[in-house]
Amino acid sequence: DILRAIVGQSPPYREKQVCAIGGSSGYFYCTPTYWPKLDVASWQGENSEYTITIYNGDGGRGVVYGQGTIANVNIGIEGYAPHGVLEIPFGLQGEPDDWYDVTKLGSLRLDILSHADRTNADSCQIFLQQLRNY
């Protein structure tokens, strides 16, 4: 619930693609996000009479299905936390004076609690950013 609230403070990540499918179905690759919303339309110089369906996309790969041969499609992808990255803000991002001052800390400890179905082989990466006034 906390992560959903944090993610909700940022606008969704958006990307658009024009893909050549060249058959009745084909894969497309995109930036992996959580809670993806996808839209698709044919990208052709003439009207098409068939239905196009789009599926998946949250893991970075989706599939487009159609009735007959699909030439090109325009795909819109929207989701949160691209590549699994979450921003945890410590102050107003546009006002550096409001940022959390880490220079007053002697040390910082971050505890990461694992989900029940994770194993020791899984990894997690943490990126820290700090403003330094020189």
Q: Give domain status of residue 63, yes or no.
A: yes
**Tens digit of pLDDT for each residue in 102-113?**
777 777 777 777
Q: Name beta bridge partners: 33.
A: none
Tokens at residue 107, please?
Answer: 């040390």
Which residue in the block uniquely carries the two structure tokens 């004076």?
97
Q: Is residue 7 part of a domain?
A: yes
Residue 133: the pLDDT is: 67
**pTM (2 decimals)?**
0.67
Angle, alpha carbons 5-8-13 (nearest 5°) = 145
What mean pLDDT comes out for the span 58-82? 88
Q: What residues make up the domain containing 17?
A: 2-80
pLDDT, tens digit, 9 for 90 and up, residues 78-96: 998 898 888 777 777 788 7
Do 40 and 52 touch, CB atoms closer than 8 A? yes
CA 65, CA 55: separation in Å to the nearest integer? 8
Number of structural domains the chain divides into: 1
The dihedrals phi and psi of 10, each to the nearest 5 degrees, come to -105, 150
Confidence of residue 77 (pLDDT cuts 50, 70, 90): very high
pLDDT at 105: 76
In a domain, 50, yes or no: yes
* Residues above pLDDT 70, as percent of the chain: 92
Q: Is residue 127 part of a domain?
A: no
Would 128 be classed as within a structural domain?
A: no
